[in-house]
Amino acid sequence: MSATGIGAAVRRKEDLRFITGKGRYTDDVIRPGETRAVFVRSPHAHASIRSIEVSEAKKMPGVIDVLTGKDLATDKIGNLICGWMIHSKDGSPMKMAPHPALAADKVCHVGDAVAVVIAETQAQGRDAAEKVKVEYQLLTAVVDPAKARSAPQIHEVAPKNTIYEWSLGNAKAVDAAFASAKHVTHLDIVNNRLIANAIEPRVAVAEYDAGTDQLTLWNTTQNPHVSRLVIAAFVGMAPEHKLRVIAPDVGGGFGSKIFIYPEEVVCLWAARKVAQPVKWTADRSESFITDAHGRDHVTHAELALDASGKFLAMRVKTIANLGAYMSTFSSSVPTYLYATLLSGQYDIPHIYCEVDAVYTNTVPVDAYRGAGRPEATFVVERLVEVAARQLGIDPADLRRRNFIKTFPHQTPVIMAYDAGDYNASLKKALEIADVKGFSKRKRDAARNGKLRGLGYSTYIEACGIAPSQAVGSLGCGVGLWESAEVRVNPTGSVEVLTGTHAHGQGHETTFAQLVSERLGIPFENVSVVHGDTDKVQFGMGTYGSRSGAVGMSAVANALDKIEAKAKKVAAHMLEAAEGDIVFKDGKFTVAGTDKSAAWGDVALNAYIAHKFAGQELEPGLKETSFYDPTNFTFPAGCHICEVEIDRDTGKTEIVGWTAVDDFGTVINPMIVEGQVHGGIAQGIGQALLEVAVYDKDGQLVTGSLMDYSMPHAHDLPSFKVGLTETKAPSNPLGIKGCGEAGAIASPAAVINAITDAIGTEDLAMPATAQAVWSALTRAQPRQVA
Amino acid sequence: MPAVSMTVNGKAVSGDVEARTLLVQFLRENLRLTGTHVGCDTSQCGACVVHIDGIAAKSCTTLALQCEGAKVTTIEGLAEPNGPLHPMQEAFREHHALQCGFCTPGMIMAALDIVRRRGNDLDEHTIREQLDGNICRCTGYHNIVKAIAAGAKTMAKGGARQAAE
């Protein structure tokens, strides 16, 4: 392994600009003549719009125009869409309600935009927005997803506010298994609604060039080409070839920046109308009521076991709150990204899952780090842990008894796991976490009046999103392959143009490591180009832990083609047969001789083209690959959380965290560990601190960072991270991906640990100090002295 | 519109601002120093931290006019122009203490203030407590804590230019 090749902890190229304040985030983009957009948003959760009066606002200083939903409809701008078709059990398609970028008839959530002010400065825009007069007729707000089915109907297309009633698995077989079970564990689980809160708020800058009839959008997006496609083909803003989308540096996404939102659509439309660039930057409290939220499931789950603790079947019923409108990928998250992981790491013969998705008058819900897999893992790992406690079996032991041990393994829920070794990660985690010493630590803590608990989460997830035919057959409207173009320059340096787009994952470094090692050229001679639809061929973007598994595999395949062509050029240069050329460490050698040509010379010759005829070999050295994986990948591992609880305050301190993950091939272990740290932090946030709360009128009570509790440094421990490796068989590099695993595994580990400590399962997330104290008090009422 | 004059990263600057213009807006929009970021509107996230007269302050909660005559240092002013990086900047890179980079300028500026107040020998507990005013969503803080401890130690070895007084 070289110092900069695959497996090396190379320090990141992108850091220089970030640590010196020279990053170029979307709000840093300043266009000549730029105007500012300020949205007028509904303060009500559910209301019809009786009138909008903009004349006073239009007269305010600096105002260029004020536009409404009526204007949008007049200009025939199309609606936003959800791109994944899900069918109900009765075969009917999901009920997708119209979602215009500016509401014209009614508003469906607090934050729903009804008008936009275009002004010279942000301050002028804000002042004018306050003068827009909207008359609302209040309607009953539907807030509780568990009660949405019997609440007033929000959208005409969706009776009982039901989007779909979906199922997966064999209900009859599951019922039969339950009937024969020796033991059934059941749990009622709420997977708490979360807000991604990437530290960079969303921004859109739109510019129209009347001379070329070209629109340009700078946007905080994880997938510029997908945004361009949706805005062109569905919203109808402009034909694709007349719309350029640029994602500059993006400050975190976690899924929330995948989706196509009203704001960028409105900015593009307004830019063309006012013939000046239009910039919109979200305030944080605006982000709270416009960025897609995550999770929000209500679940009843049951696990059937036989007398020896073998899992026989699992039955799950979930209500998924998708919010006021169907966001871009929303339908897939509680279905094919959720139910298909309910087998966990275990051999479970029969599984049946029903999911009802509902509309409520809340912000739309869509993928958030893990997207369906944290929800599934929480269900599975809580059931398993509780079952172990109920049966008096050691939780590690119960897991071992049920682990899948041979591969490939076809689960009853579509996923076919191709490779893994769950025992290996469990074993390593037990050692690192010093589980043997736990009883003593628990006794010592008890002497100090503290309650210690230990919780496991042996998770598996499906990522490396995704094999196109597979997802297509499940209703996805797009393929989920990835593209790469490798351009060798005449002077031998290389540009890799990838359809992925990093928002913190370090692609400029890791992709360069791959190319550097494969071509035997210095790491400094490789640059990565991404995030601009004018520069880079179509790609699907970064989410679903796919950039390594799918994105780098495309690069690897393109490198194979580069190598093949370069060998042809070398053969001409060295006057040898192509089949005799060996390429190693950046040098082309005629086998069995000392005749060689260096990489740089071959690259130059490819472009000068003096040594070969154009008819036999085209000049140039540039190759493309569109890579479609053959399967999802299946990262898996074991997280062990140790907590200490103060019984007087209910405060949980995490005193130990061990994560042992199998990510297959690891390109840069430093970056992989960083992904694990960040994922665990978000999972701990979900378990202990975070929840988006709506009151009965549909007001977002947790509407800013004052009330929504983000994890701070003092809320978190340091983490012990280890790796095991079984390579992914489904892509040429054997990469499984690592971006979401931490967030998927961790909530269950935390709650398993706390419930172990306090001796009751009656605890919901977030397990705040108050929640834990209350649970303790209910379970162990204290005597009054 | 009132005028304001101050020194930013060693350079005398002035501009016309509204009374309500925040220091962060003055830096980003008037001076085009976009290294200081806005991440929230309740003064919690810390992406906007700069030094005013040698002390860390949230530029989102400071009016530009409040800084009349003040010496302001932003992330852009840490390293010598065309010179080496500040040891704290180096430490962040060395320890992979950033991913998306958006919280990073404020995090580095806050880190320097921790060193100013608590010295160069910082333990994990102290650093975690002192980072209460800075939120990172990407890193889980694990590497940030390591970087700050390491950067603080390197600063003690002298020859390192501390943030301007």
Task: Report the pLDDT value the prediction gives residue A627, as an integer from 0 to 100.
Answer: 97
Q: Does one domain contain both B114 and B61?
A: no
Among B48, B77, B106, give the residue marking a domain's end: B77
Q: Does one domain contain both A455 and A569?
A: no
Q: Does one domain contain both B36 and B92?
A: no
**Domain-located, residue B82:** no
Q: Is the pTM of this model over 0.80?
A: yes
**Domain-located, residue A150:** no
**Domain-located, residue B94:** yes
Among A603, A627, A651, give the residue marking a domain's end: A627
Q: Does one domain contain both A774 and A650?
A: yes
**Domain-located, residue A386:** yes
Considering chain B, what is the average pLDDT of its residues? 95
What is the number of structural domains in chain B?
2
Domain residues for the domain of B99 are 87-156
Among A584, A612, A627, give the residue marking a domain's end: A627
Among B13, B42, B77, give the residue marking a domain's end: B77
Q: Does one domain contain both A98 and A223?
A: yes
Q: Does one domain contain both A421 and A530?
A: no
Q: Does one domain contain both A304 and A436?
A: yes
**Domain-located, residue B28:** yes
Q: Is the dihedral of CA A158, A161, A165, A166 positive or negative?
A: positive
CB A195 within 8 A of CB A254: no
Q: Does one domain contain both B69 and B92?
A: no
Contacts of A35 in chain B (CB under 8 A): none
Contacts of B76 in chain A (CB under 8 A): 20-22
Q: Does one domain contain both B70 and B122?
A: no
**What are the start-end ranges of the E strands in A505-563?**
526-529
CB B37 within 8 A of CB A25: yes
Task: Report the pLDDT value the prediction gives residue A782, as an integer from 0 to 100.
Answer: 66
**What are the start-end ranges of the E strands in A360-516?**
409-410, 416-417, 450-460, 482-488, 494-498
CB A259 within 8 A of CB A338: no
User: What percentage of residues in chain B have a pLDDT greater than 70?
Assistant: 96
Give me the DSSP letters along A551-595.
Answer: IIHHHHHHHHHHHHHHHHHHHHHHT--GGGEEEETTEEEETTSS-
CB A750 within 8 A of CB A716: no
Assess A255–B contact: CB distance below 8 Å, yes or no. Answer: no
**Domain-located, residue B164:** no
Task: Report the pLDDT value the prediction gives residue A781, as an integer from 0 to 100.
Answer: 73
**Domain-located, residue A704:** yes
Residues B95-138 pLDDT 10s: 999 999 999 999 999 999 999 999 999 999 999 999 999 999 99
**Domain-located, residue A157:** no
Q: Which two tokens stand for residue A154?
A: 């929000």
CB A567 within 8 A of CB A583: yes
Residues 401-420 of A with CB under 8 A from B: none
Q: Does one domain contain both A238 and A89?
A: yes
Among B49, B77, B105, give the residue marking a domain's end: B77
Edge-to-edge strand list for the sheet holding A243-246: A63-68, A113-119, A35-41, A278-281, A203-209, A214-219, A243-246
Non-local (6+) Cβ contacts of B64 within 8 A are: B4, B15, B17, B21, B22, B23, B25, B26
Among A627, A657, A691, give the residue marking a domain's end: A627
Q: Which helix (H) or strand (E) holds B163?
A: none
CB A314 within 8 A of CB A301: yes
**Domain-located, residue B125:** yes
**Which of A199, A287, A689 should be substituted to probe chain B, the one whose Cβ sees the most B Cβ atoms within 10 Å?**
A199
Contacts of A251 in chain B (CB under 8 A): 37, 39, 100-103
Q: Does one domain contain both A763 and A689?
A: yes
Closest approach of B23 to chain A, Cα-based (Å): 14
**Domain-located, residue B99:** yes
Q: Does one domain contain both A444 and A458?
A: yes
Q: What is the CATH number of the domain that holds B13?
A: 3.10.20.30
Residues B142-157 pLDDT 10s: 999 999 999 999 999 8
Domain residues for the domain of A230 are 18-139+202-281
Contacts of A284 in chain B (CB under 8 A): 39-42, 45
**Domain-located, residue A473:** no
HSE (side-chain half, CA atoms, 13 Å) at A683: 34
Task: Report the pLDDT value the prediction gives residue B81, as an integer from 0 to 100.
Answer: 82
Q: What is the CATH number of the domain that holds A622?
A: 3.30.365.10
The complex scores an ipTM of 0.97
Query: Which residue from A252, A283, A285 is facing B102, i.e. has the nearest CB?
Result: A252
**Which of B100, B124, B148 should be substituted to probe chain A, the one whose Cβ sees the most A Cβ atoms within 10 Å?**
B100
Contacts of B101 in chain A (CB under 8 A): 14-15, 17-19, 23, 249, 251, 504
Q: Do A11 and B94 touch (CB under 8 A)?
A: yes
Contacts of B141 in chain A (CB under 8 A): 677, 681, 712-713, 716
Q: Does one domain contain both B65 and B9?
A: yes
**Domain-located, residue B102:** yes
Q: Do B101 and A250 touch (CB under 8 A)?
A: no
Q: Is the dihedral of CA A44, A50, A54, A57 positive or negative?
A: negative
Residue B164 has pLDDT above 50, yes or no: no
Q: Supply the angle between the helices A599-608 and A553-574 in degrees, to the nearest 10.
A: 80
Q: Does one domain contain both A653 and A518?
A: no
Q: Does one domain contain both B96 and B130?
A: yes
What is the number of structural domains in chain A?
3
> How far is the C-alpha of A383 from the C-alpha of A761, rounded, in Å?
11
CB A385 within 8 A of CB A187: no
Closest approach of A766 to chain B, Cα-based (Å): 18
Q: Does one domain contain both B72 and B92?
A: no
Query: Which residue from A24, A196, A284 is facing B40, i.e. has the nearest CB?
Result: A284
**Domain-located, residue A146:** no
Q: What is the CATH number of the domain that holds B132?
A: 1.10.150.120
CB A161 within 8 A of CB A153: yes
Query: Which residue from A18, A284, A681 is facing B39, i.e. has the nearest CB?
Result: A284
Q: Does one domain contain both A235 and A354?
A: no
Q: Which residue stretches of chain A have pLDDT < 70?
A: 782-785
Assess A254–B contact: CB distance below 8 Å, yes or no. Answer: yes
Q: Does one domain contain both A388 and A531?
A: no
Q: Does one domain contain both B97 and B36?
A: no
Q: Does one domain contain both A309 and A438?
A: yes
Assess A784–B contact: CB distance below 8 Å, yes or no. Answer: no
Q: Does one domain contain both B67 and B40?
A: yes
**Domain-located, residue B163:** no
Q: What is the CATH number of the domain that holds A119?
A: 3.90.1170.50
Task: Report the pLDDT value the prediction gives residue B163, as an integer from 0 to 100.
Answer: 47
